[in-house]
Amino acid sequence: MIIEGNELQVFDLVASYAQRYQCSCVYFDLVKYNALDDAKKATVNAFYAEFIDDYVLDIMKQGIFNTIKFPEVDVATLYASSWFPRINYCPDEDHYIHAYVVDAYGDIVWENIPEPLTADE
């Protein structure tokens, strides 16, 4: 009899996949993006089109897939950080797409959460 059950989180799936196939994964959460109306989506798309690779924008627009596999963690991090700006660099919350990179150990090595403030800030 099951007495306690936790819903498997997306992160667990991505981490498990990365460990199993010894790769790195860039995950981006499209739940909020998919819920936007067409006009707002167009604005967000225009914002991302300026710097994101076309194939990633296409994936976003389809709104189905949300993970990209990379053999090397450094490349995955470089790409992810050039695709998904942190929230403080987005025009508003609707433009923000939460993303992270999971390495072959199943750890998050980069995430586009706001950077901690420095001493002079």
Return the closest-CA partner of residue 111 out of 96, 98, 100: 100
Residue 32 in contact with other proteins, rule: CB under 8 A: no
C-beta of 5 vs 114, nearer to other proteins: 114
Query: In the bound complex, what is the minimum distance in angstroms from residue 52's beta carbon to other proteins?
Result: 9
C-beta of 1 vs 119, nearer to other proteins: 119
Cβ(44)–Cβ(36) under 8 Å? yes
What residues between 34 and 93 interact with other proteins by CB under 8 A? 50-51, 53, 70-72, 74-75, 78-79, 81-82, 85-86, 89
Q: How many angstroms separate the CA atoms of 90 and 48, rounded?
A: 10
Return the closest-CA partner of residue 14 out of 111, 107, 83, 85: 107
Residue 96 in contact with other proteins, rule: CB under 8 A: no
